[in-house]
Structure 1
Amino acid sequence: MARVDAHVIQPEEYIELPELTDEMFARARFSKGGRPVSANPRVLISLRLPADLLEKWRATGPGWQTRMAERLKRVT
């Protein structure tokens, strides 16, 4: 990789690159990537909880926020 990083592109190397045309741009497809849009998106809120309660949830491991949300759904 050091050799690749050290390479300086010379003017004659630009000949290898095709000229971009309007037709090429018309055929191009762009994707933002990421997750698909949810039918039921989450809403960011600010909520103050006791530190010991929060630590107990975090101690349950990855996914604790989802489990907390599921538990709250059952309460309501």
Structure 2
Amino acid sequence: MMKRSKVQMPSAQEDRAITAAAKLDPDAQPLTGQQLKAMVPMKALRGRPRSENKKRLVSVRYSPEVIDYFKSTGDGWQSLMDTVLRQYVARHSRSA
């Protein structure tokens, strides 16, 4: 079994020395208050950006040849199916 080492926090004097050394490094300058305010939690950056065009999740069955055709078009085949269906709806919608 591996022995876990304990983290030892620096003393106040060691912390001041570390901070002073870091301030001398031009590539490691402390963040300004404005930079800290502009920071966003990493959790907020995860995942796909929210779309203004919300899509709904549905379960639907298509003929194998329809699925095979769209899959053969490569990556983005589901978006292509959506585009084709939206074009169909636009052409066949009744204008009031």
TM class, shorter-length: 0.5 to 0.7
TM-score (norm: length of structure 2): 0.50
- Higher RCO, Cα 8 Å, sep 6+: 1
Q: Which amino acid aligns with 2:44?
A: K
Q: Given the alignment of the two structures, is residue 69 of structure 1 paired with residue 65 of structure 2, yes or no?
A: no
Counterparts of 2:71 and 2:85, CA distance in 1:
16
TM-score (norm: length of structure 1): 0.61
Match of 1:21 in 2: none
- Structure 1 stretches lacking a partner, 5+ long: 1-5, 17-26
Match of 1:14 in 2: 8
Q: CA RMSD in A?
A: 2.3
Q: CA deviation at 1:35?
A: 2.7
Match of 2:44 in 1: 32
Q: CA deviation at 1:29?
A: 4.9
Aligned-pair identity (%): 25
Superposition misfits of 4+ residues, deviation over 3 angstroms = none
Q: Which has the larger radius of gyration?
A: 2
- Structure 2 stretches lacking a partner, 5+ long: 11-36, 90-96
